[in-house]
Every structure is written in C-alpha cells, then in structure tokens.
Chains A and B, each alone.
Chain A
Amino acid sequence: MSEPILKIENLSKSYSLGKRDVQALSGINLQVNKGEFVSIMGPSGSGKTTLLNVLGCLDKPTGGKVFLDGVDIASLPEKELYKIRRSKVGFVFQTFNLLPYLNARENVEIPMECVGTQKNERSQKANGLLKSVSLEGREEHRPHRLSAGEQQRVAIARALANDPAIILADEPTGNLDGKNKQDIVKLLANLNINNGTTIIMVTHDSQAAAQSERILLLKDGKISREKQGLLLAKKKLLCPYCGSKVQPDETRCPSCKKALRQEEEEF
C-alpha cells in the first residue's frame, strides 16, 4: 500500500463576486499517493486552477481539509503558507514564469536561496538539475535565448530544486508546440518513473493527460470521473483495458487488441 502524500477531505472553495457567491469547488475528496502522476482535466471554469491553487498553498479553501505530506495546510495561517510552498511544493507554470534578468542556473537556484542553501551547493545542484532536463551547456543562457521547450525544462528543474513532496504543473504544455509538448510530458513521466516524483498536472490536452497514471475529470467544482492513464499500465505492465500482461514495447494489448500508446477518448 503506497503512502498518501496528499489527502483532500470534503474540500470546498467559494468566492464572493459582488453580492453573488460562486462555488468554485465543492465536496472534493481525493488521495494522491507518493510517486503518483495524476492529471486533472475539465472544461474552462470547472475549478482546475482553483484546485491547484489550494493544493499549492497559493489560496486557502473555505471548507474541508487538505493534508500535504502530513500537514493540514487548510488550517495554517496565510503567513505560514510560504514555508510549505518553499519546501514541499514545486510549481511548473504554463508561461514558464522564469525571471528574465537571471540565467538558467540562477533561475533554478532561486528556490534554494529561499531555504538558505549555500551558494556553492546551489550552483552545483542547479547544474545537476539542468543536466537532468537535458540543458547541459545552457546554464548561462538567459530565458530570451532559450526556446519555449527549453524554458519549460528550466522551469521544471526549478520546481525540483528543493526536492519537493509534490510537483504541481499548471498546463505545462499549454504554450508549447507538438514536439516540445511531447518532450515535456515525457520528461515529467520519466521524472515520475525514475525518481518517484509525485506530480499533479492540470491540462486541457487529453494526449498529455493520457501519459499520466490517473486522470480526474473536474466538472462544476466536483470530480465527476476518474480513469487510468497509460502510465499506470506502463508501470505495472498491464493492459489498462483488460488487465492482461503486456510487454513494455507493445503498442497494442495482445489480448483485447486495444491501442496502448495513445488515449484518444475524450471526456
């Protein structure tokens, strides 16, 4: 039985919009185990980003409990949340959000500066992380000299800087073209498989979502459906449709003959 890294109990979040209350999230229960790669999909306004904001301690819920690595972040005062953000959460943004006046290594070093890591150690670790996202030799380049895909790789390296309990990725492929899109999803999946990094990814892209382990559909602030992604199958080497054993390089299930590489079905 895997250890839960994130446990959400009856989570709700509402906003006041003038005189009207908007229920962005209601009654969400969810458990994400350590080493899982979960995608959240849903139409615009379904509450995806609100959920991610709450999970990332960027926003406080109005009801329910959220245990992140054993800490109930919903009960923490606002001024304490930055400590959770800096140590337990790594963010990957749709628009990369790199600081334009810092080079790639310095961008990766920033979260480590927050936790007081020494300069030498920071540089060393940042170089290592950039190498792990295939950006060796680009350490001194500023964001404007990197392609969109490379910038997102730097952002992923930055998210990993403080060895967070969880990576929250908000539409990480939203600003990327086809090839870069695939590469970034592959990079996230590899991090998950090889390093056991827990990832929650919000996306509109069903192909990207399919590469994860578990896919949640959010609708009107509630989880309306949940299904397995292809990654789970890869990890377990089982066909997600019929459950029979498959080989890692097989593209179709030998039993049910369904495709294993792509998830075409839309929610």
Chain B
Amino acid sequence: MGIANRAFRNISRRKIRASLVIIALAFSMAIMISIPAGASANQQSAQSLTQTLSNTISLTESSINQTATQIDCSLTPSFQNFGFNPQNSTFNQFGPGPRGTFDPSQFGGGGGIPGEFGGGAFAGRGSTPMNESLYSDIESIQNVAATVPILQASEGTNQTISSFGRSFTLLRVEYVIQGIPLNSSLIDSFPILPTNITAGRNLKTEDSGVVVLSENNSAFFGVGVGDNVTILGRVFLVVGIHGTSGVSDRTTLYMSLSDAQTLTNNAGIVTSLEVFAANSDVVSSVADAIGTLHPELTVTTAQDRLTSLQNMQNSYNTALANAQTTLNQTQTTAVEEIVVAISATSMVVLFVMLYTVRERTKEIGTLKAIGFSNWTIMSQFMLEGVLLSLIAGVFGIAIASVAAPLFSGLLLPAVTVVAQGTPFGRAPGLASAATVTLTPILVLIALGAAVVLGALGSLYPAWRASKTRPAEAMKYE
C-alpha cells in the first residue's frame, strides 16, 4: 500500500467527479496537442509548396535557356473552338461548358505546365487546332532554320462541378499526346524530343506505332518499356520512359506526328508550330516577321517565356510572403491558445486538488497523527494531481488523434497561398484537415506536459495538505 496505490484509490473513490475532471482536462489537453500539430502541418505544407514551386521554376528556366532560338506559334485559344473533336479528343483543358472557372492545380492544360501548375503559362504549344498547310509560308521567312509542326491533345475524363447553381464540365487531364515529326533533319538538330530518358530509348527517325511515356503515364497505364499500351483504342509499343525535364511534360507521351494525327482523326491538323531561328540574335526579327505574316498567331519567344517566368516568380514570391505572414500569425495565435490551454489545465488541477485537500482535512490530520511526514503527505497529493493529469493526458491524446484536424481547423487561422491573376492561378491551400497528424514526439511531449502540469497544479494544494495540523484529526463535527 504505497503512496501511488493510495493516490490511485483516492482518484477512483469518487468516480463521477474524477470522470468529469478527466473529461475537462482531456479536452483541454487535446486542444493543447492539436494546435502545435496543426501549426506544424501548416509549416510543412508551406515548405513543401515552396520546394515544389522552386523546383518548377528552376527546371523551367533551364529548359527555356536550352530553347533560346525557339519561337512558339499557335492560335490564341478561343471559345469558338471548344469541343473541336468531340469524338475522342479535346484540344483544350476546358470541357464543353464555357465561362467556367478552373482549378489549374487539378486540371492541367494542354500547354503550359500541365500537372500541378497548368494554365497556359507558356501557351506555346497551343491548344487550338490549326491547319498546318496554311502556315507553310513561315518556312520561307529569312533566318528561319526549321519549322516543326506539333499536335498536342489532352485526354482525360469529364467532371461536372456545380457552383452557385451552375454546372461546369471540366476535363480532368490524365495524359497529353504530343505528336512530333520524326524527320532526322529535325529531331537530330532541334530540341523537340524529351531530353531526360530514364528507361528504354528515345523516339528515332521513322518510328511508328511506338510511344515514349512519361513516368506519370507509365504509372497511369501500368506499363513499362517493352509493354504494349492501348491509347484511344490503338495499341502502341512503349519504347522508352522519360522523366520530367521541367516544361510541361509530366503527363506528356510522345509519338510520331502522323501517329498522333491518325489516332485523333485529325489529318493535317496541328496545335502549334515550333519555329527555330538561325541563331539567338535573329529570334526577335523572325518573331516580328511571323507576326506580320500571320497576325492571328500568338508568337512567343524564349525571351517572352523568360519574362513570363519572371512574372511568375514575382507573383510566387508575393504569394509566399503572404503565406509567411499568415503562418506567423498562426504561430502567434497557436502560442496564445496553448498558453490559455496550459493555464486552464493547471487551474483545473489546482482547484480540484484544493477542494480535495479541504475535503480531506481530517484524513490528512489522521495520517499525520499516525506518523506521516509532511513530505509523504505532499508527495501523495502531488502524485494524485499528476495521476489525474496523466490519465487526462492519455484521453486527451486519444481525442486529439481523432479530432486534431477539427480543433486545429477551428482554432488556427486558415493559411492559403493565393496568387490571383498569375500563372499559378490558385495554388493549393496549406494544411488541410487530412495533413494534421500527431507525431510520436508530440505524443511524448503531451504526456510530459501532463505530468508537469499535474505537478504544477497540485503543488500548492499538496503544500497546504502537508501543513495541515495533525490535531485536525481530533476535530469532530
């Protein structure tokens, strides 16, 4: 019958009171645990987002630099062209429903940077179909080294989203077909093929019926090098896998232009012309000449793309600064709320133990009359407080393991990175409910905090108990 046993029996002796106190303390502790978990999730999300954006920008920049002489020519996307080929291909990230808003983080565009940050940042490889034969005169412009017709088609599933009473059908892109003319004069001299082959081989001259998939495509179709893959009902042999090289190719699979045109039933149709200038000094004059010859074309040079990238970077920095400000606010709020929760927990322990000591004055007097030292009495009451707090801590962890996302959502300001009107569109918000998790370290800290708070809260009541006069045992009501 040690002091621990007596402390435990004293707690269990008044079950309803102990249960109520434990529930109150448990919720207080659950909040105390959930807040740092939420704040930490926000921090991690912000870091991860920063990392992703930085990687994208640096890969894109390096890719742009490699294509200094490249000029993208495409038709400006227009709504008239929606549903160009409704049979099996869509040339735009938009479905048939016009005037919708779209979330580029989910719906990668046909051009630009598909995948996470689509939205046509570099609308070079356009999404609007154009008749290749109408632009054959570009090749005769002075200082044009080559003209490469490209056909790009996004494939995916249509999703209907309702918002404010209206329905929008959006194409959720699963893969992007890119048809490239496989002439040795073009593929040997100009950067039009994927550059980062991670398995198998790249496309080569006169290849037909073969594809090079991206790693994402490989996972999506569940095939590897040497396997057959069925695309839009036709079987292709997978000859290679490419890793992302930074530009718009996370979900892009490459095949010959003629295969792509046949596959999508679009003979003679392309979505962009990649014009290569003889050298980087004449890029600007060539672009001007193209613009003069075909004013309907959107002409984008590497310089334009770099400028666009710079804008994107600036916008990204602003968004990140906003996010950082909100994160700082979150941390301040988190600290304030934790202080309140800690104080509440200590106060609950303090008042409960004070009440207990007062209620048990005679018992304490008896123990002292029997020969208990002040220290033993103090230890017993402190142990009771710690035990109470520890039991509540365990329940608090159990509650937090389920309700931490809810608590952190309710108690912390929402943090999102918003860069409106930028190529980002809206970047994903930071900590979502699902990302708030309790780490083992946090659980250990919570248990430690429960012990410390229990000890702190019961310190004064235990000291009061130890100072009880033993003669109290002789008082009879």
Name A residues whose Cβ lies closer than 8 Å to a Cβ of B: 49, 52-53, 56-59, 79, 82-83, 85-87, 91, 93-95, 97, 99-102, 106, 109-111, 113-115, 158, 162, 170, 174
Contacts and interface: CB of A to CB of B under 8 A. Distances in A.
Given A99-B363, A101-B10, A113-B1, A170 B474 contact: yes
A93 B366 contact: yes
Contacts of B370: 85-86, 91, 110-111, 114, 158
Contacts of B476: 94-95, 174
B362 interface: yes
A232 to B, nearest CB: 28
B474 A58 contact: yes
Contact of A114 (B10, B371, B374): B371
B368 interface: yes
A58 B469 contact: yes
5 contacts: A83-B371, A97-B363, A99-B366, A113-B2, A114-B373
B124 interface: no
Nearest to A164: B371
Most buried by A among B371, B473, B476: B371
A110 B10 CA distance: 15
A82 B13 contact: no
B15 to A, nearest CB: 12
A94 B369 CA distance: 14
B interface, over-half SS = helix
Interface in B1-29: 1-2, 6, 9-10, 13
A185 to B, nearest CB: 19
Contacts of B469: 58-59
Contact of A82 (B362, B363, B368, B471): B368
Interface string B445-477: 000000000000000000000000111011010
Contacts of A79: 374
B355 interface: no
Most buried by B among A83, A85, A170: A85
Nearest to B471: A58
Contacts of B367: 99, 110
Contact of B1 (A57, A93, A102): A102
Contacts of A174: 476
Interface string B419-435: 00000000000000000
Most buried by B among A83, A114, A170: A114
Interface in B32-74: none
B220 interface: no
A106 B13 contact: no
B1 A106 contact: yes
B13 A115 contact: no
Given A102-B1, A113-B1, A93 B474 contact: yes
Contact of A101 (B9, B369, B471): B9
A85 B374 CA distance: 13
B1 A82 contact: no
Contacts of B374: 79, 82
B221 interface: no
A17 to B, nearest CB: 16
B372 interface: yes
Contact of B474 (A49, A109, A158): A49
A82 B474 contact: no
Contacts of B372: 82, 86, 114
A86 B1 contact: no
Contact of B371 (A85, A93, A97): A85
B371 A86 contact: yes
B9 A58 contact: no
Interface in B346-398: 362-363, 366-374, 376
A114 B1 CA distance: 11
Contacts of A52: 474
Contact of A97 (B1, B373, B473): B473
Given A86-B372, A100-B13, 16 more contacts: A58-B473, A58-B474, A59-B469, A59-B471, A82-B371, A83-B371, A85-B370, A85-B371, A91-B473, A93-B474, A94-B476, A99-B6, A114-B372, A115-B371, A158-B370, A170-B474
Most buried by A among B1, B13, B370: B370
B366 A97 contact: yes
A82 B369 CA distance: 7
A82 B373 CA distance: 6
Nearest to B366: A97
Contacts of A91: 366, 369-370, 473
B371 A53 contact: no
Contacts of A94: 476
A183 to B, nearest CB: 21
A12 B9 CA distance: 42
Contact of A102 (B2, B9, B369, B474): B9
B359 to A, nearest CB: 12
Q: Which 6 A-B pairs have the closest CB atoms?
A: A86-B371, A114-B371, A97-B366, A58-B471, A101-B9, A58-B470
Contacts of A49: 474
A58 B371 CA distance: 10
Given A82-B372, A91-B370, A115-B371, A53 B474 contact: yes
A8 B182 CA distance: 120
Contacts of A58: 369, 469-471, 473-474
A101 B13 contact: yes
Contacts of B373: 82, 114
Nearest to A202: B474
B366 to A, nearest CB: 4
B10 A97 contact: no
A97 B362 contact: yes
Contacts of B1: 102, 106, 109-110, 113
Contacts of B376: 114
Nearest to A86: B371
Nearest to B363: A99
A114 B369 CA distance: 11
